[in-house]
Amino acid sequence: MTAEKNTPNRPTGGCLLTTVMNLTVIPLILMWTVLGIMLFPLIFVPWKIITRWNADRIMRQFVWLYGRGWVGIMAPFVRFRRNGFKTEKIKPPCILVVNHSSFFDTYCMALLPFSDVTFAIRAWPFKMFWYRPFMRLARYLNVESMEWTQISNTAATIISKGGALLFFPEGHRSRNGKLQRFYSGAFKLAIETGAKIVPLCLTGTDELLPPGRWWLKPARVNLQALAPVDPRAYRGPDAHRTMRRAVKNLMAQSLALQRHPNGTGHPGEPPAESRSDSIRPVNRPYPVS
Amino acid sequence: MTDAEIIALINISLTEEFELKMEDLKPEALLFDDLELDSLDIVDMVVVLESAFQFKIREEESIRQIRTLGDIHNFVINKKNALLN
């Protein structure tokens, strides 16, 4: 295993760095998770008394903070960037759709500049007993177990209260780096509620921890927000399908640009105007159409 | 609507909804194993068929027996015939 320079989605360190990363980061993540589980009940009551927030909102904020801790633990080995949120004026209410290539994609949602995000997820994450009570308290949508009318009503309530929903429309992690088939749920809800779809392109997590690998590698992770897509532009019985195709095309183009910005067929540095050494938003980094 | 037209409409509806390739839509194709549909897709499939043929099928018991694309074709053809009689 050797270091590969000038390839942002490749490991930035060699075998030693990877070993150090795994020996430090994995125990720290486990400790952070245990600490979070133990601390939440103690923090919850004073938090509720002080803020008077609903329990589910507190839980979602806590999940976001847990994710920020994860980002901090990863930061010595992973360069995180966040682009496009300021220039595209991304803010709730909205429906976020993200490409999916790693178990850690959900953790990367701590890079979002807002915290009240309700995840729409499949049934299997609810089987992780150590996360399950928290996901239920946060009122995450179990899109495999809930009836569509229940999902639709819950989504309408979330949007009407100014919240954000988050979907991984592929449903599974991609094993070849390409976008897979998109499920329709997020787009149906956008048509039904009128909420804009915000496409998010996440790169680098497939290098950090792709499906089928059990150890981490240093990586450069970039969360790119594209311009929101207004569902009012789509009408008729095929509206959600047309919108789904349009959003998928936008994401595919943006991901291709991020991975092969020079058109060389090889990954390279993002365009100069998009470079950012932190997760601070920067000016419009990539064309979106 | 002839049986061939029904089959064609089913296939077109499924390719559009599930991003399937028309050449993969063989009657013997298993929905889960060959076409790689899953439990989330079944709900959408019912909605697609109801929309395409303007009838309700979500309460039908026999829909649970469907395993292949050919089963869908036969199910819809039988349903249309039953409605006509």
The answer, for A181 touching chain B at a CB cutoff of 8 Å, is yes
Percentage of chain A surpassing pLDDT 70?
A: 85
Residue A98 placed within a domain: yes
Q: What is the DSSP string of A134-162?
A: HHHHTT-EETTTS-HHHHHHHHHHHHHTT
d(CA A190, CA A164): 11
Residue A264 placed within a domain: yes
Q: Which residues of B touch A237 (CB under 8 A)?
A: 51
Give the 3-state DSSP-derived string for chain B, with helices as H, strands as E and coil as C.
Answer: CCHHHHHHHHHHHHHHHHCCCHHHCCCCCECCCCCCCCHHHHHHHHHHHHHHHCCCCCCCHHHHHCCEHHHHHHHHHHHHHHHHC
d(CA B7, CA B70): 9
Which of B18, B19, B40 is nearest residue A144 as measured by Cβ atoms? B40
Structure tokens at A185: 């749920």
The answer, for A185 touching chain B at a CB cutoff of 8 Å, is yes
Give A216's Cβ-side CA count (13 Å radius). 23
**Cα Rg for chain A, rounded, in angstroms?**
19
Range of the domain at A71: 15-274
Range of the domain at B66: 3-84
Contact B18 A185 (CB under 8 A): no
Residue A81 placed within a domain: yes
d(CA A162, CA A153): 15
* Class of residue A287 by CB neighbours under 10 A (exposed 0-12, middle 13-18, buried 19+): exposed
Amino acid identity for residue A103 in this structure? F
Residues A69, A111 contacting (CB under 8 angstroms)? no
The answer, for B41 touching chain A at a CB cutoff of 8 Å, is yes
Q: Which residues lie closer than 8 Å to A222 by C-beta, 6 or more apart?
A: A8, A80, A81, A82, A83, A201, A202, A203, A204, A258, A270
Which of B16, B17, B40 is nearest residue A171 as measured by Cβ atoms? B40
**Which tens digits make up the pLDDT trace of A252-280?**
999 999 887 765 444 444 443 343 434 43
d(CA A249, CA B69): 28
Q: How far is CA A131 from the centre of its chain?
A: 17
Give A254's Cβ-side CA count (13 Å radius). 28
Structure tokens at A181: 């088939």
Residues A224, A230 contacting (CB under 8 angstroms)? no
Contact B40 A241 (CB under 8 A): no
Buried-exposed string A188-207: b where 16+ CB fall within 10 A, e elsewhere: bbbbbbebbbbbbbbbbbbb
The answer, for B60 touching chain A at a CB cutoff of 8 Å, is no
**Which tens digits make up the pLDDT trace of A179-205?**
999 999 999 999 999 999 999 999 999
| Domain count along chain A | 1
Q: What is the pLDDT of residue A47?
A: 95
If you average pLDDT over residues A219-246, what whole number do you get? 94
Of residues A232, A230, A286, the one with CA closest to residue A254: A286
Residue A115 placed within a domain: yes
Give the position of tokens 């790169």: A203
**Which tens digits make up the pLDDT trace of A42-82?**
999 999 999 999 999 999 999 999 999 999 999 999 999 99
Number of CB atoms found within 10 A of residue A217's CB: 20
The whole-angstrom distance between B44's CA and the closest CA on chain A is 8
Confidence category of residue B47, pLDDT binned at 50, 70, 90: confident
Which of A143, A148, A181 is nearest residue B19 as measured by Cβ atoms? A181
Residue A54 placed within a domain: yes
User: What value does the mean pLDDT of chain B take?
Assistant: 90
Give the position of tokens 């061939």: B4
Q: Is the pLDDT of residue A8 over 60?
A: no
CATH number for the domain that contains residue B53: 1.10.1200.10
- Tell me whether 0.85 is exceeded by the ipTM: no
Q: What is the pLDDT of residue B81?
A: 87
- Give whichever of A4-13, A142-151, A214-223, B43-52 has the largest mean pLDDT: A214-223
Residue A2 placed within a domain: no
**Cα Rg for chain B, rounded, in angstroms?**
12
**Which tens digits make up the pLDDT trace of B7-16?**
999 999 999 8
Q: What is the pLDDT of residue A148?
A: 85
Q: Which residues of A touch B19 (CB under 8 A)?
A: 181-182
d(CA B56, CA B77): 14
Which of A122, A144, A181 is nearest residue B18 as measured by Cβ atoms? A181
Q: Rounded to the nearest 5°, which phi and psi values hold at A260?
A: -135, 65
Q: Which ranges of chain A does DSSP label H, i.e. alpha helix?
A: 15-51, 55-74, 132-137, 148-160, 185-193, 205-208, 239-259
Residue A9 placed within a domain: no
Q: Is the pLDDT of residue A156 over 80?
A: yes
Of residues A76, A100, A87, the one with CA closest to residue A203: A100
| Domain count along chain B | 1
CATH number for the domain that contains residue A74: 3.40.1130
